[in-house]
Amino acid sequence: MNIATKIFLSCAAALAAVTAATAQDKNDFNPITTGVTSLGIAPDARGASMGDLGAATEPDANSQYWNPSKYAFAYSRGAVSLNYTPWLRNLVNDIFLADLSGYWKLGADDNQAISASLRYFSLGEVVSSNTDRTLNPYEMSVDVGYSRKLSEKFSMGIVLRYIYSDLGFGASEVDQSTGASAFSADISGYYTTYPIIGRNECQWSWGWDISNIGSKVNFNNGDNPAFLPTNMRIGTSFTFPLADYHNLSLNLDLNKLLVPAMPRRDDYDKGSEGEKEWARAYDDWQNMSPITGIFKSFSDAPGGFKEELREISCSLGAEYSYNQQFFLRGGYFYQHPSKGNIQYFAIGAGFALNVLRLDASYMIATEQNSPLDQTLRFSLTFDMDGLKEIFGQ
């Protein structure tokens, strides 16, 4: 398979454009386009099995992606998680996402934490149609974060990230592209409280995370700049006991890409004047700064406020736990057909011991021919407190 085909497949799956064509009139189809789309792929099995959510769920080693401010409320002193996702296995067999995430609590009061993660998205081996060379295109990111409690119920966190995308190459051995890099930051907040309902102590949490606020990623030596997938995630989680050792949490996340919509030629009048207006609008969009784009993203949809609401995707999920050792999960993800048409159910399970936890998830797409259908994820988490107990420290 050549590189153009593989890049198209991976990007199309991330935007679900491959399924939207069967969902509605193509004139209404207007997804938000970004560079480095792999940054939007959920890395861990727990969040994925609840429909891709995690803004306000219980903290774990993979909170770096969902909401790093949760680390300040983590029960364990530290943890590390290794995640693996075979991607688009209905179409190809060598695309995958690997992720390593972890945190460590600081100070005797455990009110603050440092965290880090490393993501690597590989498109496998591809063959250049121009030079017959075999290449290994990929995207990767590395980041570090800091979170701290600002009160007994509220914390905030910040993450700094370096991003590199190496997807293309030139037409000859001499003319080769060097990939593109970018820098970004995340800012997040987390609030949790423990209301008494009846005779039971419950937990109600809220969280928000704005991720990938940063520079553009400049492909082709700056000739083709693209916005990073700056994303705003807001969520809530409510956990209540069913009986002794039995808990159930209900969770909701809402997401919106804070990226301006690319001007479409069909939205302008026909003829030379319409062509000029579209060209000016496209040039303004291409040269727009990322910060300006964030504010522009709330009011630039051609269909007005109604279309802006369509840009909000929804994740709804539940998690059942027995004695914090056995977990069953399920969820649903919905994205409007005009904005990508990603819609699927997800299920998953997990098993935890003192030292490690193993989680797995499975995606069931609502579109029969969706390349995302039957996607599996696996997560293996090591708890530092458990390791200390084993070695007697």
Q: Which CATH number covers residue 85? A: 2.40.160.40
The Cα 156–Cα 255 span in angstroms is: 19
For residue 266, tell me if it sits in a domain. Answer: no
Model pTM greater than 0.85?
Answer: yes
The mean-pLDDT minimum among 64-73, 155-164, 167-176 falls in 167-176
Give the Cβ contact number of residue 206 at 10 Å.
Answer: 16
pLDDT above 70 as % of the chain: 86
pLDDT value for 257: 96
pLDDT above 90 as % of the chain: 62
Whole-number average pLDDT of the chain: 87
pLDDT bracket for residue 2 (50, 70, 90): very low
For residue 268, tell me if it sits in a domain. Answer: no
For residue 283, tell me if it sits in a domain. Answer: no
For residue 163, tell me if it sits in a domain. Answer: yes
For residue 180, tell me if it sits in a domain. Answer: yes
pLDDT bracket for residue 124 (50, 70, 90): confident
Among candidates 164, 193, 166, 169, which has minimal Cα distance to 181? 164
Q: Does the pLDDT value for residue 297 go beyond 50?
A: yes
pLDDT bracket for residue 9 (50, 70, 90): very low
For residue 211, tell me if it sits in a domain. Answer: yes
Q: Does the pLDDT value for residue 12 go beyond 80?
A: no
The Cα 212–Cα 256 span in angstroms is: 12
The Cα 281–Cα 333 span in angstroms is: 33
Q: Does the pLDDT value for residue 174 go beyond 50?
A: no
Q: Does the pLDDT value for residue 50 go beyond 90?
A: yes
In three-state secondary structure terms, 2 is strand
Containing structural domain, residue 40: 3-261+297-390
Instruction: Read off the pLDDT of residues 323-375 as tens digits, 9 standing for 90 and up.
Output: 999 999 999 999 999 998 899 999 999 999 889 999 999 999 887 777 788 89
Q: How many domains does the chain have?
A: 1
Question: In terms of pLDDT, which residue wins out, 389 or 21?
Answer: 389
pLDDT value for 274: 82
Q: Does the pLDDT value for residue 129 go beyond 70?
A: no
Token pair of 106 as six digits: 């600081």
Q: Does the pLDDT value for residue 10 go beyond 60?
A: no
360 bridge partner residues: 349, 378
In three-state secondary structure terms, 211 is strand
Q: Does the pLDDT value for residue 127 go beyond 60?
A: yes
Among candidates 25, 29, 32, 20, which has minimal Cα distance to 228? 32
pLDDT bracket for residue 269 (50, 70, 90): confident
For residue 287, tell me if it sits in a domain. Answer: no
What value does the mean pLDDT take over residues 100-117? 93
In three-state secondary structure terms, 79 is strand
pLDDT value for 356: 93
For residue 371, tell me if it sits in a domain. Answer: yes
Token pair of 290 as six digits: 């990322």
